[in-house]
Amino acid sequence: MTDLTKLTIAEARDALKKGDFKATELTDAYIHAIEAANPAINAYVAVTADHARKMAKASDERISQKKAGALEGIPLGVKDLYATYDIHTQACSHILDNFKPKYESTVTSNLWADGAVMLGKLNMDEFAMGSSNETSYYGPVINPWRAEGSDEKLVPGGSSGGSAAAVAAHLCAGATATDTGGSIRQPAAFTGTVGIKPTYGRCSRWGIIAFASSLDQAGPIGRDVRDCAILLKSMASFDEKDSTSADMPVPDYEASIGKSVKGMKIGIPKEYRVDGMSEEIMALWQKGIDWLKEAGAEIVNISLPHTKYALPAYYIVAPAEASSNLARYDGVRYGLRVPGKDIIEMYENTRSEGFGHEVKRRILIGTYVLSAGYYDAYYLKAQKVRTLIKQDFDKCFEAGIDAILTPATPTAAFGIADKKLKNDPVAMYLNDIFTVTVNMAGLPGISLPAGLSKNGLPLGLQLIGKPFGEEQLFQTANIIEQAAGKFSPQKWW
């Protein structure tokens, strides 16, 4: 039999229904692939093989009784930020050592209710803070892609680096991820996979460890646009347990695949032509414009004048919310506890040992910008900038723009422990330059591979949609995917 891990979710779903193979066989194929690859790639921080086999067996029973759910028997990986009942859930932080929640996130509950199989928990930047997966307590993830003729280890992007690498290396059929400032879209771009950050409120945040609550959103990473549409349909729901979740029906996103973009208006924002952007990225963007034009879309030059303030404002709002959300990790209720002579010293010891360097930096920044005297100068101002950013987008959509096309990242994947980035956090933060605006405005954004760099690494384009315009994003992304083709790394592991 051909390698079952090669199948997309749509292909596996249809073959399972026809009885071409069993869900248990598909799950076994993935478990074997993980066992062989994980020592090299480090995408999984916990593999739940027995649990997966049990779930797959139950799927086979439901398939034979003609009771298959939308994702029946499909093996998925779960970002370590999602609470999974009685299973390792640590946001890849030392401070949550041995935390096994007695509850399940709404998004993963939805997936299991639709018949999906859980393979394990995926590596990520600690508390989702990072753009390279190097801040994980469990060590970096290695990108399955290598530059042509080189064996240098590259980062898969972050913070959902494990999700993106696992999907690219065929260590799961699809994965859950989260995106606060680009953590679905940037790793998708670095690994030749597709990732969508839905509109804020489309997926419930309940049971997802909070980073910055007004920006966090769950979404899938998949091997193609259709697979992301299938996954999002199951992940999204209204949830009474998350007051920010949207009480709106979830459309059949897969039905958008194959629809024409004739007459759609695609905006090209001039502010995304940033200084020092490489020729390759410029050329890729132009290719995307040409493909959509050929498919009948109208290309419109637009302006989003407050774009340049988005990154600095994000790096105030996100740490501010993080400093508040992370106050709960004090050694009392969960995870690590490092004793001290009294309770204050116990807090201090636990937090200084339990949090990594980047997380501490964010807590310090966040505490500073929220403190008396600085609140108005930083936090309040950043919130006002956020409103202006949102208004820029509102104006374009009111003027009839259906979706906006931009590059996903300013570069292709870079080397592990790249010195410049290691010593300069701002250089690392610049990875998010094209993605943070979308979170600040609460909009949906999809990243998909559109070509290769001259040394053979994947490069991504991003489409930004109107609030709850996910269907148009799938529709438009599929047109680009048809033109660009799909991209897979050469296996070296």
Closest by CA to 425, choosing from 124, 132, 92, 182, is 132
* 181 versus 198: smaller Cβ distance to ligand GLN: 181
Q: If you count them, how many residues does the chain have?
A: 493
* 182 versus 220: smaller Cβ distance to ligand GLN: 182
**CB contact at 8 A, 488 and 225:** no
Residues in 313-342 at the binding interface with ligand GLN, rule: CB under 6 A: 318
Catalytic residue (one of 159, 160, 245, 256): 159
User: By three-state DSSP, how is residue 184 classified?
Assistant: coil
| Max Cα-Cα span within the chain | 70
User: By three-state DSSP, how is residue 393 classified?
Assistant: helix
Amino acid at 385: V
Q: Give 76's strand partners.
A: 118, 174
CB of 131 to ligand GLN, least distance (A): 4
Q: Which stretch binds ligand GLN (CB under 6 A): 101-109, 111-119, 180-188, 480-488?
A: 180-188
419 is catalytic: no
The yes or no reply on residue 130 touching ligand GLN (CB under 6 A) is yes
CA distance 397 to 315: 26
Q: Which stretch binds ligand GLN (CB under 6 A): 53-61, 176-184, 239-247, 465-473?
A: 176-184
**CB contact at 8 A, 265 and 402:** yes
CA distance 66 to 131: 43
Judged by CB under 6 A, the residue of 30, 112, 137, 211 near ligand GLN is: 211
Count interface residues toward ligand GLN (CB under 6 A).
13
DSSP alpha helices (H): ranges in 410-449? 419-423, 425-429, 436-441
Q: Which stretch binds ligand GLN (CB under 6 A): 10-18, 175-183, 249-257, 469-477?
A: 175-183
Amino acid at 474: F
CA distance 217 to 427: 24
CA distance 180 to 208: 12
CB of 476 to ligand GLN, least distance (A): 23
* 31 versus 322: smaller Cβ distance to ligand GLN: 322
The yes or no reply on residue 159 touching ligand GLN (CB under 6 A) is yes
* 171 versus 215: smaller Cβ distance to ligand GLN: 215
The yes or no reply on residue 406 touching ligand GLN (CB under 6 A) is no
CA distance 352 to 367: 15
Residues in 8-47 at the binding interface with ligand GLN, rule: CB under 6 A: none
Residues in 262-281 at the binding interface with ligand GLN, rule: CB under 6 A: none
**Token digits of residue 128:** 């989702």
CA distance 432 to 131: 8
159 is catalytic: yes
The yes or no reply on residue 180 touching ligand GLN (CB under 6 A) is yes
CA distance 37 to 386: 42
Judged by CB under 6 A, the residue of 126, 179, 242, 321 near ligand GLN is: 179
Binding mask 350-389 for ligand GLN (x = CB under 6 A): ----------------------------------------
CB of 314 to ligand GLN, least distance (A): 7
CB of 71 to ligand GLN, least distance (A): 25
Measured torsion, CA atoms of residues 406, 410, 416, 417, in degrees rounded to the nearest 10: -140
Binding mask 409-438 for ligand GLN (x = CB under 6 A): -----------------------x------
Q: Kindly state the helix (H) or strand (E) to which residue 354 belongs, with its residue range.
A: helix 343-354
79 is catalytic: yes
CB of 164 to ligand GLN, least distance (A): 12
Owner of token pair 């970096």: 140
What number of H helices and E strands is found in the chain?
16, 11
**CB contact at 8 A, 99 and 137:** no
Q: Which stretch binds ligand GLN (CB under 6 A): 41-49, 100-108, 129-137, 198-206?
A: 129-137
CB of 130 to ligand GLN, least distance (A): 5
Binding site for ligand GLN (CB under 6 A): 128-131, 159, 179-183, 211, 318, 432
Active centre residues (catalytic): 79, 159, 183
